Amino acid sequence: MKKKLKLGVFGFGCVGQGLYHVLHETQGIKAEIKKVCVKTKNKARPVPDSFFTFDKNEILNDLDIDIVVELIDDANAAFEILKASLEKGKAVVTANKKMLAEHLEEIFNLQKKHGKPVLYEGSVCGSIPIIRNLEEYYDNDLIQSIEGIFNGSTNFILTKVFEENKNYTEALKQAQELGFAESDPSLDVKGYDPKFKLVIAIAHTFGVFVKPEDVINIGIDRISDLDLKFARENGYNIKLVARAFKSGDKIFGFVAPQFIDPTNALASVRNEYNAVQVQGAFAEKQVFIGKGAGSYPTGSAVLSDISALTYQYSYEYKKLEQAHGLTFSNELITEAFVSFDEGTPITGNDFEELQSGYASQGKQYMVGKVTLEKLLHWSKIEGVGIILAPKAAFIPLSNIQTRSLSVA
C-alpha cells in the first residue's frame, strides 16, 4: 500500500484554494495538506485556522512533510523556498512560471544534486498536460515547432473585444473582476507571462535552456481601433501567440500578437482557454486545448504533479541529451503590420521589404518583412503597434545570407 503523502503548501490564493478543493473532492490520490504557510495575518479564509502558519520553517523542518507545494506570487521568495525544500530532502511542486523561467537551468542542477524532483505542470497553460506529454509522448519525436495561446487573460480580453465589441479597457476590467487578470495586468497584456511559459516549454521541447531576457515579447496593450477595424473587415481575429521552432542548429522563439484567419486552429479558442500546437516529424501536428486561467484548472494541474510523485515520477529532461549544439537566436525575418504616430522615426527603409503603407488621421500604417530585432526596438517606442501578418513566414537571416553568397 502506498504511503499517504503529507503536503506543506506555501500560499493560499486562487491556485492554493483551487488545490485544496480539488484534493478534497478527488478519491484517487493518497495525499493530504498538513500545513499552509501564508504571509497575511487576520485574513478570512474558507478553512480552519489550524491549517495555517506564518513561519516557513514549520514546513521546511517538518520531517513528516514529503512534498512542498509552492504557490506564491513572489518569484524570488519562491526560488528560496524551492532551494530550501530540496536541501531538506523534500520534493517540490510549483506553478510559478516566472521563477522557473528565470532559474530553470539551476533548478535542473539542484534536482541532480539533491536527488529530489521538481514538477511544474501547472506553470505552462493551466490544465493542459503539455510538459508531461513533451517529456513522455514526444520524447523521441523530432519536434519542429511548438506554438499557441499561452495566456488565458489576454485571450479572454481579445474574445470580448471581437465577439462582444467591448473596448480594451472594458474587457480588461471584466478579466480582472473574474480573477483572470491581476490588478496590475502588465505581465499578461505586455506578453511577459506567455514568454515565461515559452522559456519553460523550449527546455522540454528542444533541450535548450533560454534566459527570459533573450526572448522577445510584444503584447496586446497597443492594439488600436484601426487594427480591430482592419481585422473585422478582412475576417481575421487577433491572438497573442507564443511560438518556438527549430531551423538548422538554431532555436527561435518569441511572443507577439498576430492576425489569425478562420482556418487557423487558434481562431476558435475563446475566453480563458489556452491552446498548444506541437508539430513533430512523426506525430505531425497535434493541438491541445484547455483552460489556462482560473483556480480549478491550475489547481488540477498541481494535483496531477502531486499524484505523479506518489509513484516517484520525475522529469528526465530527455531532450537535453538530444540537443547536439542547438543554440537560441533572434536573427529572424518575419512579416508584420506596424502602426505608429506621424513623426515616429520609422520609415520604409527600416523594412527588409516594404509591401504597402498608408497614412490616415495622424497615424501611419506599414506592412512588410522586417527583422525580429527591429520589431523589438520599435516595441519600446511609445505609440507603436505591432501585429504579425496572418500568413507570416519566419525566415532565419542565415538562410538569406547563405542564399546571397551562393548567388554571388
Which of 83-92, 291-300, 302-311, 366-375 has the least mean pLDDT? 291-300
Q: Checking DSSP bridges between strand 143-149 and strand 237-247, what pairing results, if any?
A: antiparallel
User: Is the predicted pLDDT of residue 401 greater than 90, yes or no?
Assistant: no
Per-residue pLDDT averaged across 282-311, rounded? 91
pLDDT of residue 141: 84
Dist. CA 339–CA 148, nearest whole Å: 24
Are 310 and 5 in contact by the 8 Å Cβ rule? The answer is yes
Grid coordinates representing 26 are 478527488
Which of 22-26, 317-321, 375-379 has the least mean pLDDT? 22-26
At residue 363, what are phi and psi to the nearest 5 degrees?
Answer: -115, 150
What digits encode the pLDDT tens for the residues 55-68?
999 999 999 999 99
Contacts of 233 (CB under 8 A, 6+ apart): none
Which of 129-133, 264-268, 293-297, 364-368 has the least mean pLDDT? 293-297
Per-residue pLDDT averaged across 240-245, rounded? 98
User: Is the predicted pLDDT of residue 104 greater than 60, yes or no?
Assistant: yes
* Region of residue 248 (left: phi > 0; alpha: psi -120 to 50; beta: else): left
Dist. CA 77–CA 81, nearest whole Å: 6
Per-residue pLDDT averaged across 213-219, rounded? 97
Q: In the predicted model, what is the mean pLDDT of the chain?
A: 93
**pLDDT band per the 50, 70, 90 thresholds, residue 402:** very low
Domains of the chain, earliest start first = 5-123 (3.40.50.720), 332-407 (3.30.70)
Residues in the chain: 408
User: Is the predicted pLDDT of residue 391 greater than 50, yes or no?
Assistant: yes
pLDDT of residue 406: 39
Per-residue pLDDT averaged across 156-179, rounded? 92
Per-residue pLDDT averaged across 13-32, rounded? 88
Which residues are the active-site residues?
Answer: 197
User: Is the predicted pLDDT of residue 407 greater than 70, yes or no?
Assistant: no
User: Is the predicted pLDDT of residue 3 greater than 80, yes or no?
Assistant: no
Report the alpha-carbon angle 289-295-296, nearest 5: 60
